[in-house]
Structure 1
Amino acid sequence: MKKKWLIPVFASFMIFTSPLIDAEAATPQELVSTAKQYIGVPYAWGGTTSSGFDCSGFTQKVFADLGYQLNRTSAGQFAQGTAVSKQHLQIGDLVFFNTSGQGVSHVGIYIGNNQFINASSSKGVSIASLDNSYWKNRYVGAKRVIDFSKQQASEVKNASVDLGFYASRGKVALRLAEGLGLDTSDTNSPFIDVKSTDYVAGAATALNKLRIFEGNEQGKFNPNSPITRAQMAKVLTVAFNLKPTGKNTVQFRDVDQNHWAYDYITILAQHGITIGKGNGLYGPNDYVTLTQLETFIQRAVSK
Structure 2
Amino acid sequence: MTYTLMVLISDVWVDVLPKSNNVSWTSSADTLSVELTFDSLSDIVEGTHIMLKIDDKMTFTGIVVRKVKKKLSYSYACYDWAFYLNKNETIIQFNKVTADVAIKQLCTQFGIKCNCVKISYIVQDTAETTVLSTSSSTSNTTSSSSLVAVAKKYLGVKYLWGGTTPSGFDCSGFTQYVFKQLKINISRTTYTQVKEGTYVAKANLQAGDLVFFGSVSLPHHVAMYIGGGNVIQAPHTGDVVKITPLKYFSDYATARRINVATTTAKAATKTVAVATTGAYAGGYANGLYKDWINAYARQNGYNPNLIAGIIEVESSFDCNSKNASGHVGLGQFDYTSAKEVGLINSSGDHRTDPRLSIQAICQLLTVKYKATGTLKKAIMTYGENTNSYYNKVVAATPGHDVGAVTSGKTGTVTATKSTTETTITTNISKIYKDMTLSAIIDDILNNATLEKGTKYIKEMISDILYIRVQAEYKIFPKFMLNEDLIVNSSIENMKNTVIATGSDDKSTKILATVSDPINIKIYGGLQEVLTLDLAYDIAHANNVATNFLKLNNKIFHDAPLSITVIEGAEEIRANRFIGLIIESMGLNGWYNIKSCANVLVNGQCKSSITLEW
TM-score in terms of structure 2 length:
0.20
What is the TM-score normalised by the length of structure 1? 0.39
Higher fraction of strand: 2
Q: Which has the higher contact order (CA 8 A, sep 6+)?
A: 1
- Higher Cα Rg, which structure: 2
